[in-house]
């Protein structure tokens, strides 16, 4: 399991954030065996490099303010808002990402449901949770169906492989073959999503399943050293690409597409 280092003062908002993250991680690792075996593989192959969390991703329906409030109180800063492309324009999606001096980045996305039939909106807002409603919503939008059913659970974590000694694609393909991973192949047809500026590469597994529904998955990230920093003898994480790419994010979202 990937470890994060946190403050110990039990009376601060940082402690509340720590408990929120720890609780989410316990559930995530209990229900995402693919993540466990990938991290175990990386630990065994690269014992001198501790896998580091690049970001934690959550999804919301409509209102992101409750989770955003917790983030702000815990000293997270909003870095950017990203309007995401969508296969179905009836369900526009927006992402926000936040940065903290200690904790991993948080990638928080949301979907609007104004164009969903009123009866389905009411059932979602009444916190009704059942499989029939999931499948009904899934006919409209798979992202929305996942978010309706799993709500505040972690959608995925992303592991930063930027400082590993081999090329990102080689690490992924060797791990894929060794572990027989089911890698997400988005409709673009390429498992590797590359940002518009070429400095961010991402890929992900398909979701593990809980009760025959797609749940959480694991993502992998490579952040290039930015051109202006390539002459540095000992570049650090601050010298690498920061932030996210809208097209990449949309490709990663397809990891929760129902495949059975």
Please give the pLDDT value at position 52: 93
Residue 185: φ, ψ to 5°: -110, 100
Whether 25 contacts 1, CB under 8 Å: yes
| pLDDT tens-digit series, residues 126-162 | 887 899 999 999 999 999 999 999 988 999 999 999 9
The whole model's pTM is what? 0.92
Strand, helix or coil at 54? strand
175-215 pLDDT, tens digit per residue, is 999 999 999 999 888 999 999 999 999 999 999 999 999 99
pLDDT of residue 7: 44
Give 259's pLDDT tier (boundaries 50, 70, 90).
low
**pLDDT band (50, 70, 90) for residue 5:** very low
Domains, in order of start, for the chain: 13-256 (3.10.180.50)
84-120 pLDDT, tens per residue? 887 788 999 999 999 999 999 999 999 999 999 999 9
Calculate mean pLDDT across residues 48-52: 90
Contacts (Cβ under 8 Å, ≥6 apart) of 161: 42, 168, 171, 220, 221, 222
Angle, CA 48 vertex, CA 32 and CA 225 arms, to 5°: 85
HEC letters along 173-184 = HHHHHHHCCCEC
Mean pLDDT of all residues belonging to the chain: 92
Residue with tokens 């047809």: 189
In terms of Cα–Cα distance, which of 187, 195, 202, 190 is closest to 245?
195
Averaged over 73-81, what is the pLDDT?
96
**Three-class secondary structure of residue 230 per DSSP:** coil
**CB-hemisphere CA count at 13 Å for 153?**
19
């Amino acid at each position: 399991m990937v470890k994060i280092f946190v403050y110990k003062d039990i009376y601060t908002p940082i402690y509340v954030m720590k408990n929120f993250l720890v609780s989410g991680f316990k559930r995530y690792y209990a229900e995402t065996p693919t993540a466990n075996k990938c991290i175990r593989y990386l630990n065994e192959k690269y014992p001198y490099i501790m896998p580091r969390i690049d970001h934690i991703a959550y999804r919301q329906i409509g209102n992101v303010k409750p989770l955003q409030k917790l983030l702000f109180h815990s000293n997270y800063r909003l870095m950017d808002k990203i309007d995401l492309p969508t296969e179905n324009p009836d369900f526009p999606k927006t992402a926000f990402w936040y940065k903290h001096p200690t904790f991993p980045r948080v990638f928080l996305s949301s979907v609007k449901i104004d164009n969903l039939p009123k009866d389905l909106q009411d059932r979602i807002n009444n916190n009704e949770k059942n499989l029939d409603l999931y499948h009904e919503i899934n006919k409209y939008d798979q992202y929305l169906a996942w978010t309706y059913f799993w709500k505040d659970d972690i959608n995925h974590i992303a592991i930063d492989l930027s400082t590993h000694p081999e090329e990102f694609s080689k690490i992924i393909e060797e791990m894929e073959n060794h572990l027989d991973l089911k890698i997400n192949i988005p409709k673009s047809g390429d498992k590797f999503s590359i940002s518009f500026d070429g400095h961010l590469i991402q890929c992900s597994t398909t979701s593990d399943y809980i009760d025959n529904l797609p749940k959480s998955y694991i993502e992998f990230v490579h952040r290039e050293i930015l051109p202006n920093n390539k002459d540095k003898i000992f570049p650090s994480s601050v010298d690498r690409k920061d932030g996210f790419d809208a097209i990449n994010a949309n490709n990663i979202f397809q990891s929760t597409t129902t495949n059975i």
